[in-house]
Every structure is written in C-alpha cells, then in structure tokens.
Amino acid sequence: MADSYVSEHKRGKGILLQMMGPGFLLYILATNLYFGLLKIIAPFHKKAKLYVTGRKHLLKKIEEELIKDLRDKCWFHCASLGEFEQARPVMEVFKKQKPELAIVLTFFSPSGYEIRKNTPHADYVYYLPNDNALNAKRFIAAINPVVAIFTKYEFWYFYISKLYKLKIPQVLISARFRKEQIFFQWYGTFFSRILQMFHFIFTQDENSVNLLQSIGITNCKKAGDTRFDRVVQTAATAANIDKLETFKEQKLLLVAGSSYAAEEEMLAYAIRNLNGELKVLIAPHEISEARLLSIEKTFKTLGTQRFSSFDTGKRASVLIMDNIGMLAAAYKSADIALVGGGFGTKGLHNILEPATFGVPVIYGPLNHDKFPEATELLHAGGGFIVSDNASMLNLLADFTTHTAKRKLAGKLAQSYVQNNQGATDLIMELPLFKKLLTNEVISN
C-alpha cells in the first residue's frame, strides 16, 4: 500500500493529459443534458424541484460559511441515503478519534440530503453543486479538504480531477464493480482513468478487486460493506417503539419496509386469507398524502390506522407509518419483514436492517445482480423470495404455522449480518487515515 500520496501521484503521472478525447466529450454532453433536463422538469416533478432549488446560490453559501472555519476539513460525498449509511461508520470514527476535524458531507440526491441535512455526524451538509470545472474549483477551494472520501459510486470527473491535480488524497469505500460497467469496456478508457485518480479503493467483494486489477488499478483491497457495521450498531442502540408493541396485541407482526404498491397488493391478498393471524406495519418508500390514501384503499377491508394518530380504542390489522426515520427501529418489533423494491426498476431496499434483528426477510425476485446481499441472504437461509400472491400467501402461512422454522430463519439472517462485520476497521487501517487521525503530516 502506498504510504504517501506523492508515490500514488507518480504512479498515475500523465493521467490528466490523457483524459481529453471522445469519452470526455461524451461525459460533458451527457452531464449537461442531464442537469438541463432536471431544470426543465423541476416545475412538474417534486424531486427534480428539490434538486434544482437546493442548488440555488449554493456555492456562495458554502464559501461564506466555510471561510470562517479555519479547522482542517474532511469531505464525505454520498449519492443518497443508502450511501450515507455506508459512510456513517467511517464518519463516526473520524468524529470520535479526531473531533477537531470538521466534516463536510455532500449529497447528490434530495432523498439523501432532505432526510440527513441535520445529521449530527457532520459539521456541514450540502447538496453537491453540479459537476463542471468552475463549480469544482470553487467548491474545493472553499473546503480545502485534507482528504475526500467517496462512497460506493458517483464518479464526478471535474471534482475528482481537481482533487487529483491539487494532490488532495481521495479514497473510495464500499465500492462494488460489475464486468458490464463502462470502466471495463474497450471504449471506457476515459472512465477507467477516473478510477486511477483515487489514492485507494476499498471494495465490497473480491470480484471488484479482480476487475480493478484487470485495468491496471492495484491500489485496492476487499474490506467488505460498511452497511453491515452500521446495521449492527443500529440493532445495539434501537429502542422499542411503544405504539408498535401495543398495536401487536400479542400477535405476530410483519413490518413492510420501504414498500411499493406491488408488495402491498400481494401482502393484502395474503393477510385477507390468513384469518387475522398477523398484524402489519406498512412503512412505504414515499409518504405523500396520495400514497398514504392509496395504501389505505389497498388494505381497507382489514382496517387501517396511521401511526401519527394511532388510537388504542380502534380495531385495525394494518398500521401505516406516516413519518420518516423510524423504520430501522421498527424492525426490532417485527417477527417477519417484507422489504420493498424487488419488483421494480429502482432496486431493492435495505434487507440488512431487519436481518440484524434476527428477523426472516421477504423480498421480490428482481435486481439481485446489483444487490448481492439478496442472493447471499437467500443462500444463508434468512432470505425468502416471493413472486406472486400465491407464493406470498404460502410463505406467510408457513411462518405463522411453524414457529420453530420462522425463528431459525431469523437466527440465520442475524448470523449472516454478524459474520460480515468488520469493513470499517479494515478501512481505518489505511496508513493515510492513521496518519491523519494521529496528527502526523500527510506528505503532498
């Protein structure tokens, strides 16, 4: 492992000079079209509107706020909420071991920023300004970080190349690569050279290491996925939610987390045919009023209540969580979990959160190539795939009838999570981080 950023820079000598070409022009065109499209649809699309309005006068705000802060700064960048959960364990180590270091956290997506903009784990939280040469120059000049840490993906050329040019070390954590990605294609030279600008890359799996090495990147190592460390922390500190314990009434509770209509419709069919043996908490991916009304309609015959107005005097089989931030703790009360996203194009949500509490996890059959924990948990005996009404009903009937089988599945799910801990500790062994946290001088 390189012990100074100078040697890493020598290894990549000439990278920036090689970047110009068709790939660079394609990148400029694609990003400009994407950012332009967001502006066009912003008046008609809530998420796009947040993206655009959240970046108005942003650089001026960042410059005004950070110019007054003379502390050394560490920059963490996350695409969205899931990547924040991966960055968080590393962020916490930095905060604990070197509290005088200011942490600047950026998000690309509103779904990450809007939920975590007040997190106590960072001193400053911002949207990442759109990727172009001027924005990158101003943003990095304002922060002047001693190190930049990127999570999983999000390879913005102008930011990464500016950091590289300034010899500011940048580290990628919890990365996962697939053979079909552009970095590993004959026409992907521009994008593979972006990866060469990283001081070090920590991957989730050995296959990613092999792929990186196939394009000449050797400053990489498998550390695992920091999400395992994060969910174990959550399980250790989560408090009981009294409303849920009251709602259960000594029955089994199924928690449907980050759910979409596809899972909910199958679940409604199954619950109607289980003769009241299960209580259900629905924590949908989106909590707009229209979405909540749709859920109430789907489960109308079973009786529903909203979490915010829960009344112990009303009879209901379905409780709808109409807030954000309580789902991870809610899994503590669950006997069975159903996680959304396995029937759509956006991807499976976090199945590790319920698994760490010793809860068997049900999910749909799609997108497992991008979420290998879905296949791994299935093979471990703690994950279960459903594809239609019949398979949902059969599985839930089995779980409600065979207590020992359900509990064994939960134990296997929990063991899978516990056996995959440790990524954060491996990442913090990086000499660069050790020097930073022990106040040694980082060679530039």
Query: Per residue in 144-192, pLDDT tens?
Result: 999 999 999 889 999 999 999 999 999 999 999 999 999 999 999 999 9
Q: Phi/psi at 289 (nearest 5 deg)?
A: -60, -40
pLDDT at 89 over 60: yes
- Distance in angstroms (rounded) separating the CA atoms of residues 227 and 352: 8
Residue showing tokens 């909590």: 287
| Upper half-sphere CA count for residue 403 (Cβ side, 13 Å) | 3
Give this prediction's pTM: 0.86
Question: What's the whole-number mean pLDDT along residues 18-40?
Answer: 87
- Distance in angstroms (rounded) separating the CA atoms of residues 382 and 313: 36
- Long-range residue pairs from 403-410, CB within 8 A, at least 24 positions apart, any chain: 406/335, 406/336, 406/360, 408/381, 409/360, 409/381, 409/382, 409/384, 410/357, 410/358, 410/359, 410/360, 410/382
pLDDT-derived band at 22 (thresholds 50, 70, 90) equals confident
Query: Torsion angle, CA of 316/318/322/326, rounded to 10 degrees?
Result: 110
Q: What share of the chain is helix, strand, coil (3-state, %, to 5)?
A: 50, 15, 35
Which pLDDT score is estimated for 6?
43
SS3 333: helix
pLDDT in tens, 47-85: 899 999 999 999 999 999 998 899 999 999 999 988 999
- Distance in angstroms (rounded) separating the CA atoms of residues 169 and 9: 9
Which pLDDT score is estimated for 183?
95
Instruction: Write out the H or E segment, with its range, that includes residue 246.
Output: helix 242-248
- Distance in angstroms (rounded) separating the CA atoms of residues 377 and 244: 26
C-beta of residue 126 within 8 angstroms of C-beta of residue 104: yes
The domains found in the chain, sorted by start residue, are 5-224+422-437 (3.40.50.11720), 235-418 (3.40.50.2000)
pLDDT in tens, 108-140: 999 899 989 999 999 999 999 999 999 999 999
pLDDT at 231 over 90: yes
pLDDT-derived band at 2 (thresholds 50, 70, 90) equals very low
Average pLDDT, the chain: 91
Question: What's the whole-number mean pLDDT along residues 287-313?
Answer: 91
- Distance in angstroms (rounded) separating the CA atoms of residues 135 and 325: 32
Taking residue 323's Cβ as centre, other Cβ atoms within 10 Å add up to 11
C-beta of residue 318 within 8 angstroms of C-beta of residue 244: no
